[in-house]
A = this chain, B = another copy of it.
Amino acid sequence: MYVIDFTKIKVSCENCSLHELCLPRGLEKNELEKLDSIVNRTQPLHKGDVLFRSGDTFTNIYAVRTGCIKLTTSTEQGEEQIIGFYLPGEIIGLDGIEKDIHSCTAEALDTSSLCAIPFDNMTTVCTQVPSLNHEMFRVMGREISHENQLLLTITKKHAEGRIATFLLSLSGRFKQLGYSETEFRLAMSRSEVGNYLGLTFETVSRSMSKLQKQGLISINQKYITIEDMDSLHHICNEKDLPSKESKTAP
């Protein structure tokens, strides 16, 4: 366990270890500098702090630098639905682009630092730097794919499969960040996992216990160890829900 003091790190897009996650296809040095010039590094948020709320005027998109942010929408009755958990290198705030008003609320699950990028400035830079513009399209495309994936998970998988899929998604993202892909801490509560996956927290707890009994994971409070990655993958893909569409001709 070592701790990084982020306040001491010289931050700029160019030397940011995350820029290949923020901007998967990369940019030239001078392009990065242009982007860098409009980025604001904000004060860190603490657990529970809200970055923006549904209904707020949209001005910035944000890149998560450290920590974990949850995004939620809600029904007219105020029922919350978690849309995603965002880790370093991931971008939030795109929900405000359509109507210049945020439709989601962003809340820190851990102490988190972010880069704020004023969207208007960003689009201006985009017109000068076509590759950045294309990157922005890709970032938005990624968001769409993520939601497609979530939809698929929720409608087609049983509780255990949803949990397994969720854990593997986190695992893969931690790996990308250079952390362990087999041991990590869940920044979110069981109840938040449940909300995200369309389950109750009891079902989340039970499913996780079951995975542990099967020897696929170990649970120590918020800490998860993946003991059998292959079997976990197997559970994700087996055990589908409904289907019906037996279109396969005779």
Contact = CB atoms under 8 A, between A and B. Distances in A.
A73 B200 contact: no
Given A98-B142, A201-B244, A245-B195, A123 B137 contact: yes
B140 A75 contact: no
A173 to B, nearest CB: 16
Interface string A134-159: 10111011111101111110111000
A242 B203 CA distance: 12
Interface residues of A, number: 55
A81 B151 contact: yes
A50 interface: no
Contacts of A205: none
B237 A75 contact: yes
Nearest to A245: B80
Contacts of A182: none
Contact of A140 (B79, B104, B137): B137
Copy tally for this chain in the complex stands at 2
A71 to B, nearest CB: 9
Interface SS majority for chain A = helix
Contacts of A149: 73
A29 B232 CA distance: 55
Interface stretch (A5-13, A31-39, A125-133, A211-219): A125-133
Contacts of A56: none
Interface of A: 73-77, 79-81, 83, 94-99, 103-104, 123-124, 126-127, 130, 133-134, 136-138, 140-145, 147-152, 154-156, 191, 194-195, 198, 200-201, 237-238, 240, 242-245
24 contacts: A75-B237, A79-B243, A81-B148, A83-B151, A94-B140, A94-B141, A95-B141, A96-B141, A97-B137, A97-B138, A97-B140, A98-B138, A98-B142, A98-B145, A103-B148, A123-B134, A124-B130, A126-B127, A126-B133, A144-B147, A147-B148, A147-B151, A151-B154, A195-B245
